[in-house]
Structure 1
Amino acid sequence: MTTSTTEVAAQDTREPSHSLSAGGRFTLLAIACLTIMVGTVVAPGLLSIASAQQVESHASWLITLPSLGAVLFAPIAGRMIDRIGAYPSLVGGLLLYGLLGAGGALLEGAVVVFADRILLGGVTAVVMAGGTTLISEWYHGHARLAMIAQQGMSIELGGVIFLFVSGVLAGIAWQLPFLLYLLSWGLLAMLWLMVPRQSPPAPDGEPGQSKGAALASSLNSIYLAAAISLTLFFTAIVMLPMRLNLLGLNEAATGIFLAAISLVAVVAAMLMPKVSRALGEMPTLVLAFLLYAASLFIFQQAGSMPLMSVGAVLSGMGFGFSIPLLNHMTVERSHSSVRGRNLSYLTMAIFLGQFLTSFLEFLPGDGSNVFAAAAVLGLIFAVLYLGAYLLKRDSRGA
């Protein structure tokens, strides 16, 4: 019994025989920031950018259409990653990301501008799935879980940084925020220099290496959880400005409040590996949905900023306990031969959840009704996943 426990512990803490350098580690984490940057770059200067590009009547589409592009192109991205490899796919993705992103500043008119945003979203799917696949190739066991948690932290922290920097640049000239997309070319150079093209072989006995895992496609519950998680999170992000305005906050204060949610998500993602080891993966996911539901209920009911701040903390914790965990669960349950494809489907689910919030403005009633409906949705999925977990546990114990 002691030997078995020791072997399991050794498997959980194993590292590749050739570990990635600190520079390579930083590069993969920085690349993750590009996924949230695709929309946040234009957010602070949205009205002036939309006016200059002659798409004023559909300004919000500049933010949401990349999500649609990621949904449409993610399956193609996944197959490409599995066929030619994560490294060359990521190289091409980073190159096109800078070209399509920065080149958007030169475009005018709805057709070409929106086509560019959709294609940029498709390239973002390649970058997101390719980067996570590389992480899965270089890290294993608890080290992989910790790295993917840090990836989630990087994404949220990047959102805070890019919102601030883009706001400053947009105040100077509407074209300047588009230059931030060229960061991908700098990261491409860092990838070439700091991340070897050949990743180490996976250790024997790693989860997801058996042929049975290659044939298993029971990841639909993970994809669904990712889509619902992002829907709940972005419901708050989309609806809060209106709610905060009623409480007397101006645009600057609202931006700080939203940034605070992202900062909480960074801290929660850092704590997620410990919470997951203590509670288990599925209970942690159930907890995330309960946190989302509680935050949305508070946003609906609160009439003061102290209570709204409690909701912000709970919302950020919901994100930090869910998305990095779902990333890890997808990797652990995927055979290496289809890992890129499965991660691209997860990317599609994540961006689908984000894109669905584009239609919140068309729902009847005021924002209070939207918060209430989203809170109920969070509770429903908490109950569903808790029930599935308990049924599976009981069946194993029988």
Structure 2
Amino acid sequence: MAQLKPIGAFTLLSVACLTIMVGCVIVPGLPSIAAALGVGPASSWLVTLPSLGVAVFGLAVGRLIERLGSRRALVIGLLLYGLLGYAAVWLRGYPAVLLDRFLLGGATAIVMSAGTTLISEFFDGEARLKMISRQGMAIELGGVVFLAIGGMLAGIGWQHPFLLYLVAWIFAAMVVTFVPHSPPSSGKVEPGATDSAPAMWDVYLAAACSMIVFFAAVILLPQKLADMGMGEVKIGYFLSFISLVAVGAAFVMPRFMDALGSMRTLMIAFSAYALGHVIFFAAGSFPLIVVAGMLVGCGFGFSIPLVNHLTIERSPVALRGRLLGYLSVAIFMGQFLSAFIEMLPLTRAGFFIVAALVAFMAFCLFAVRTRAAPVGVDEGRAGS
């Protein structure tokens, strides 16, 4: 398999930052941005609608990648990402603004799926797993960096955070310059690969549950921390801390998978999620909140890079772009569904228990999958 130069690998990791950036760059200045765009009462939709757009358009993105090729699709997705992201500055009112944010989700789906497909084409085996773990680290680092820069730009003017979307055009130029056309297939057939789509339900379910539980914490924590007397700046720092923990967890995840297998690694991820949310529910002191935040960060870092890896490992080459597109649907649908936890007829503390139950049920599922896997077979491929 052809080797990608370090600058090309850096480019693909930079592209990965855009997936979580799509909503977070406007969060620090969300009230003023929503008011300026004429959608003040629906400010939260500016953050969540791109996730719904990814889920809807992700079903078709895989076929687009198959038709155009992953590199060309990525360039197109990046150009659309920058255009649609910044276009909101010139729009006013519910129909135009919300449609723009929804379509931005479609561009994000192209960027996410095509970028991961390119990684799968240039890397193989252990090198691919390490690259996927670095991609997970890049996604979380993107959240930390762009959230901080977005806050600084929002302090200058409500429209300035939207400039960050134009970074996608710089990345598009980098892809054209530093990422060559993907190498042709060597004709090797991976074990178990066929022209028919493998069973992927467990991977997609893991992705959706992980995002539901992780973003439930992101949504619920600010109010709990505010009730404990923490200001907005410190709350932002703490959410960034959780993301940094996820970066570290993604870094060590390949070692856990090599030692324990994929299903047991997912069990660790969801047990960390469940315990973290239980502590959030019961905690009355900040040190316990820190412990819970570390557990939730570990849950994300162990799960999301792993489901990307499992999708690539199970996918026949001809169907890889399509199946990665479906994975993007699962990931962002989970993020979108997390917002509905707050609509349940429960007290605010009870929402943490709901998130813990989701994580616990996922843990039980993968525990069953581990016991059902034949001895000596990697559970990650047992269902394929």
Assess same fold via TM > 0.5: yes
Distance 1:356 1:127 in 2: 22
Which residue in 2 is equivalent to 1:368? Answer: 349
Note the residue ranges of structure 1 that are not aligned, 5 or more in a row: 1-15
Which residue in 1 is equivalent to 2:336? Answer: 355
Out of 53, 60, 72, the residue aligned to residue 76 of structure 1 is: 60
Map 1:29-178 → 2, pairs under 5 A:
29-178=13-162
Whether the 8 Å contact between 2:141 and 2:243 is mirrored in structure 1 is yes
Which residue in 1 is equivalent to 2:232? Answer: 251
Out of 322, 332, 344, the residue aligned to residue 303 of structure 2 is: 322
Whether the 8 Å contact between 1:71 and 1:352 is mirrored in structure 2 is yes
> What TM-score do you get using the length of structure 1 for normalisation?
0.93
Out of 299, 317, 320, the residue aligned to residue 339 of structure 1 is: 320
Shift of 1:385: 1.1
Distance 1:192 1:207, change over 3 A: farther
Which residue in 2 is equivalent to 1:20? Answer: 4
Out of 193, 198, 210, the residue aligned to residue 217 of structure 1 is: 198
Structure 2 SS opposite 1:58: helix
Which residue in 2 is equivalent to 1:279? Answer: 260
Shift of 1:391: 1.4
**Percent identity among equivalent residues?**
51
Shift of 1:392: 2.1
Distance 1:207 1:106 in 2: 52
Distance 2:31 2:107 in 1: 25
Aligned partner of 2:310: which letter? M
Shift of 1:216: 3.6
Distance 2:376 2:28 in 1: 51
Aligned partner of 2:55: which letter? V
Distance 1:56 1:334 in 2: 43
Map 1:175-324 → 2, pairs under 5 A:
175-202=159-186, 204-207=188-191, 210-211=193-194, 214-324=195-305
Distance 2:123 2:186 in 1: 9
> What TM-score do you get using the length of structure 2 for normalisation?
0.96
Whether the 8 Å contact between 2:245 and 2:294 is mirrored in structure 1 is yes
Shift of 1:367: 1.8
Q: How many residues align?
A: 378
Aligned partner of 1:364: which letter? P
Aligned partner of 1:355: which letter? F
Q: Deviations over 1:318-341 (max 9, x none)?
A: 000000000000000001111000
Distance 1:216 1:172 in 2: 50
Distance 1:256 1:265 in 2: 14
Distance 1:195 1:207 in 2: 28
Q: Deviations over 1:197-220 (max 9, x none)?
A: 232535735346x32xx3143001
What is the Cα-based RMSD across aligned positions, in Å?
1.4
Whether the 8 Å contact between 1:137 and 1:202 is mirrored in structure 2 is no
Distance 2:99 2:191 in 1: 40
Distance 2:364 2:341 in 1: 24
Q: Deviations over 1:109-167 (max 9, x none)?
A: 00000000000001100000000000000000010000000000000000000000000
Distance 2:238 2:132 in 1: 26
Note the residue ranges of structure 2 that are not aligned, 5 or more in a row: 379-384
Distance 2:42 2:27 in 1: 13
Whether the 8 Å contact between 2:342 and 2:351 is mirrored in structure 1 is no
Structure 1 SS opposite 2:374: helix
Which residue in 1 is equivalent to 2:381? Answer: none
Distance 1:240 1:396 in 2: 40
Whether the 8 Å contact between 2:263 and 2:369 is mirrored in structure 1 is no
Distance 2:196 2:165 in 1: 38
Which residue in 2 is equivalent to 1:5? Answer: none
